Amino acid sequence: MRISFETDYRPNYELFLVVSWASCGIVCILLMIYWSGFPVGLTLAMTSLFFMVAAYQAIFAKARRTRMQTLERAEKSFSSLDDLAMKMQDDALYLGHGFEWGASHAQTISDLYRDPDRLEEIKKQRAGGTFLHGIGVAQEEDVLLLDNESKGHVHIVGTTGAGKTRLFDLLVTQAILRDEPVIIVDPKGDQDLKNNMEAAYKRLGRERDFTFFHPAFVEESAAINPLASRQRGSELASRLAAIIPGDASGDVFKAYSQNALLGIFYAVERSGVNATIMDVQRALSEGFGPLCVRALEGWAYSVGSDMVEKMSAAMNKHKNAEKKAEAGALFYQDQSALDASLTSAEMNNLISLLLHDRDHFKKMVANLVPVVGKLCAGPLATLLSPDPTAGRIPKSGKVISLEQVLTGRGGCYIGLDTLSDSDGGRAVGQMLLADLASLAGKRYNFMRARDTFVNIFVDEASEVTNEQLIQLLNKGRGAGFRIFVATQTLADYEARTGSAAVASMLTGNMNNTIMLRTVDTDTQEKLSARLPEVPLTHIMKTTASSMGDTTITGAFAINHGERLMTEDRPVVAPHTFGDLSDLEYFAIFAKGNLIKGRLPILTPPDEGCQVPQAVYSSERARLLEYQHEHLAGEDGPPKIPAIEPKREAGPVQQPRLFPFVRWVEVIPGFRPSDKVPDRNPDDYLVRTGLVTGDAPQNGR
């Protein structure tokens, strides 16, 4: 069996053939006319074969030259909010343009890496490995990540400046247009990301649905109480205990701290107010006296008015809060001993904490004190523990909870400012993730209809990695939580958690991976190892020389040979991830599709620009517009206003001159990808069921 092998990076032999055949034709014309005296017409007819072959080879020469030029082209695409709304689909996320990456592309790149001169020529532009996308630009089309794949969560890996923020912009904007709740947890606090998110809400007329949290911007930041939502009081203790550092030797202290938190939150709950982190800080610093007084009064009130009078009489004998609490505790113990039905396990626990030796108590909660201190330091006392009765009101006047954001389908940008305060910002992020884990459990338990995604974006995820984030990734899918996790290197997770197993649990719970440029060799190896291997072919050249010693004169022999070798290699070599240009990526989706794509840059809206029409924004907005027109009281059936889709500029479709020849598809204008899609917004309205097929549309 004959096996042929040809590299794409050989010299352009077709161009040599064009020059040769054309030159022969010209020479023949000159000889036949001026030497032999042939008529001009007959001469041209006889030599036309030379020029026909030259023209035929010119097509191949031009195609090869065009392919080589695309390897050096660093293209950037821009997209407005209107264009993005046109490209969106109800069941998928738009990820720019790209093509399916396969064995043929891997072979082409392997050949290029074996041609150092050509590779050096391309890289002189200092635009990265433009050839990675150039080899498939002819097959480029819209890249869509289906919802039934993205609900398995998305892992984004890329170094600084590779395009993670632009990718977040694209995904966040689409979630907003789809009328889905969006929460961004950004440790460094990227202002561009926050501004773009806010601009998207403004353009849709939903400014009130956007909230902003950042400890460095006290004037504008809203306050978030991470303890505002709960199903059971024990959740609050678990939520705060989750961020207490501990190891095998410190588990006892962590358990005792959690028990102390149970008592504190029970006391606050008994007093009839919402718990805050400041309540914990006050109990740890001032003692359990004031809390116990409030809890005992609440217990007495739940029993009856007679018990309230007796409890007040027992405690009012003392003025000091600690003494009051101790007297009330003794009274409670006496009453519960007489009537077992009055006994409360939570109250017993609280009283045991009250009567515990103070010095020993401080030693047991030594891990809890610094954690609570970080969450109550400086402006965080107001931003995380808002309480109008205590005068803790943010200057912006906005107080929210993450549950309100989810139920209102709004958006919240959370900047942690870890550059200024790494420990404090990390603690805040972990606390809010614990709150989200609790909301996921509540949503899973009680919300039967979960047709809307809750989109959680976590940038620099290693900064806030904890057990709750892993729980969200592991079990959040059933609650409709779709999580996008971004990091610079895979080693960040292990370095932050101190455990390779925990890092593996985190990455193993994400079914989709988007790989931007990364320069860490270990990360490159791990990303490449996830991809399948394909057989790659190359030529191995051998040269040998020998001199014989069996004759008087001696014999000198030279041997030169070539062997066609095939070996299995990853479809994307590890070092390829370091050559990716800005905004370019490889993506492996849940169903195994490997995509090479490039991201568009969302352009800021012009002042006075038109708001995107509701038919391309969200299901709820479409329904509201239709109802508004229906209730307007006009005669006849309601009419949907005509909306002309905005078409992208592109080459005009030319007629196919040679339908039987496949190679004309390499010429611009003949490629299927150059066709301008014909999209009709009225068809979309009929398909979604907002209007019937026989209702008049756009006046037609």
Kindly report, residue by residue over 93-131, the tens digit of the pLDDT: 999 999 999 888 888 888 777 777 777 776 676 666 777
Give 652-683 as a DSSP string. PPPP-S-TT-GGGGGSTTTSGGGSPP---HHH
Percent of the chain predicted with pLDDT > 70: 79
CB atoms within 10 A of CB 665: 15
Q: Please give the Cα distance from 304 to 339 (Å, whole number).
A: 14
DSSP string for 369-435: HHHHHHHTSTTHHHHTS-BGGGTB--TT--EE-HHHHHHTT-EEEEE--TTT-HHHHHHHHHHHHHH
Using the 8-state DSSP alphabet, how is residue 226 labeled?
A: T
**Alpha helix segments (H runs only) across 71-163:** 81-87, 103-113, 116-123, 131-134, 147-150
Q: What is the mean pLDDT of residues 311-338?
A: 87
What pLDDT is recorded for position 693? 42
- What is residue 663's predicted lDDT score, i.e. its pLDDT? 32
Residue type, 306: D
- Strand-pairing partners, residue 414, are 185, 213
Sign of CA dihedral 662, 668, 673, 679: negative
The answer to whether the CB of 130 falls within 8 A of the CB of 73 is yes
Across the chain, mean pLDDT equals 78
CA distance 290 to 282: 9
459 vs 461: CA distance, rounded Å = 5
Checking if the pLDDT of 408 tops 80, the result is yes
- Is the pLDDT score of 649 beyond 50? no
What region, left, alpha or beta, does residue 161 occupy, with left being phi > 0 and alpha being psi -120 to 50 degrees? Answer: left
Segment 214-227 shows an average pLDDT of 90
pLDDT at 514 over 90: yes
pLDDT recorded at residue 535: 85
Q: Which residue has the higher pLDDT, 456 or 263?
A: 456
pLDDT of residue 511: 92
At residue 568, φ and ψ (nearest 5 deg) are -80, 125
DSSP annotation string for 596-631:
EEEPPEEPPPPTTPPPPPGGGT-HHHHHHHHHHHHT
CA angle 227, 229, 231 (to 5 degrees): 115
Q: Which residues of 98-112 are buried (b: 16+ CB within 10 A; e: fewer)?
A: bbebeeebbbbbbbb
More confident of the two residues 110 and 409: 409
pLDDT at 69 over 80: no
> What pLDDT does 691 receive?
42
On whether the CB atoms of residues 502 and 533 are closer than 8 A, the answer is no
User: What SS3 class is residue 690?
Assistant: coil
- Binning pLDDT at 50, 70 and 90, where does residue 487 land? very high
Which tokens sit at 417? 């400012």
Task: Name the pTM for this structure.
Answer: 0.74
Strands (E), 20-120: 78-79, 92-100
Distance of alpha carbon 308 from alpha carbon 332, whole angstroms: 11
Pick from 34-43, 239-248, 400-409, 509-518: least confident? 239-248
| Contact predicate 486/156, CB 8 Å | yes
**Residue 697 in tokens:** 């549309």
